[in-house]
Amino acid sequence: MSNLIIGLTAVIGTIICYFIGLKIYQQWRYTFLAPVIIATLILVLSLLFFQIPYETYMIGGGWINHLLGPAVVALAYPLYEHRDTMKQLTFPILTGTVIGAVIGISSGILLSKWWGVSEEVIYSLIPKNSTTPVAMEVASGMGGVESLAAVFVMIAGIGGSMLSSFVLKFTRIYHYTGTGVGLGSASHAIGTAIAMERDSFEGSVSTIAMVVSAMVVSVIAPLFAGWWV
Amino acid sequence: MKTGLHIGVLYGIYIMGTWIQQLFNLFIPGSVIGLILLFILLMTGIIKAPWVEDGARFFIKHLALFFIPATVGVINYLDLFSGGGLLLVFIGLVSTLMVMVSAGSVSQLLIKSKERSHGNE
């Protein structure tokens, strides 16, 4: 089979899984059934079942992945649309995000030390709540492993998003500023996609939290690692 | 047609973001630099909202689709979810939920008290 056919099959399969996920989500509206989670689950199970390696899937998956860059750039548009509201929210968003970043880094270090995790793994875990490229760069700068850092980013993104509806409800965080900051600073771009699905104000708040969080984490992670690890 | 053109503009800004990243050797990814760049360009009026509107709406509407190939990559690390690796998954999750709750509740608390003080005026 030529690469073109494999690629097209992967693209069409991904789009079909996405629309299945979208339908299921629109039916039940639970965040743990968000389109990205359902589609990932169906694709992972199909690849395992047909014994297709991820690299083969990525011949076509890479084409979609190539549009992730401009899709992230597009987040500036709703931010601009809601600029007046966002200006009002600047202080709550920034304060929440910075506190979240500090707690994420310190709890990551302390929990790992408590359970005797090796230093190399701790360095890879510390920047998990920022976006993948930032986390990989920051982790390797401290002496961590890049691919492991990417896995922890995925755990924070997918796992955090899946559990977000329960956790936010349980802790009585319901204002779109609170949920947006929570999703953006904990689960970065995947959390932002979920916030954007619910409401574009919440999505804009999450966008700011994601961007600020990535910057704060990249600056303070090495400091905390120097003190505590 | 118009949507395609707008996607082209967004793609161009993304490419500029990656150039800026390489030029200054920044660790913030090109896409995030592009996001900040587009926001500045919109605020200063150098780029008008109608030039990117349709493309941006398309991307935002189907944002989740563009993450799927990357998240499927978890398939290469499934063995982490058994044995000793499970502890690391647990630590990562607990710490992530702590971020969500602390960041979310602090900002909600601040916005609520702001709304209350405005209500009393």
- For residue A82, how many other CB atoms are within 10 A of its CB? 18
Domain ranges of chain B: 1-61, 74-121
Question: For residues A130 and A79, what is the distance between their CA atoms, to the nearest angstrom?
Answer: 19
Domain that holds residue A176: 73-228
Give the gyration radius of chain B's Cα atoms.
20
Best residue of B107, B111, B118 to probe chain A, by most A CBs closer than 10 Å: B107
Q: Is there a single domain that holds both residue A128 and residue A151? A: yes
Out of A35, A100, A181, closest to residue B64 by CB = A35
CA distance A25 to chain B (A): 12
Among A66, A83, A112, the domain boundary falls at A66
Q: Is there a single domain that holds both residue A147 and residue A59? A: no
Task: Retrieve residue B34's tokens.
Answer: 């592009």
Q: Is there a single domain that holds both residue A85 and residue A165? A: yes
Q: Is there a single domain that holds both residue A194 and residue A122? A: yes
Q: Is there a single domain that holds both residue A24 and residue A122? A: no
Q: Is there a single domain that holds both residue A138 and residue A52? A: no
CA distance B85 to chain A (A): 10
Contact B14 A155 (CB under 8 A): no
Which CA distances in Å does B32 have to A108, A109, A160? 24, 26, 21
CA distance B13 to chain A (A): 7
B24 touches chain A (CB under 8 A): no
Q: Is there a single domain that holds both residue A110 and residue A14? A: no
Taking only the tens of pLDDT, chain A with its 229 residues reads 688 999 999 999 999 999 999 999 989 878 788 888 899 999 999 999 999 999 999 999 999 989 989 999 999 999 999 999 999 999 999 999 999 999 999 999 999 999 999 999 999 999 999 988 889 889 988 999 888 898 899 999 999 999 999 999 999 999 999 999 999 999 999 999 999 988 999 999 999 999 999 999 988 999 999 888 7
Q: What is the interface pTM, i.e. ipTM, of the complex?
A: 0.91
Task: Retrieve residue A74's tokens.
Answer: 């597009």
The number of C-beta contacts closer than 8 angstroms across A and B is 309
Question: For residues B1 and A131, what is the distance between their CA atoms, to the nearest angstrom?
Answer: 32
Question: For residues A13 and B16, what is the distance between their CA atoms, to the nearest angstrom?
Answer: 31
Q: Is there a single domain that holds both residue A138 and residue A180? A: yes
Q: Is there a single domain that holds both residue A187 and residue A127? A: yes
B97, B98, B100, B102 alpha-carbon torsion, rounded to 10°: 160
Q: Is there a single domain that holds both residue A18 and residue A106? A: no
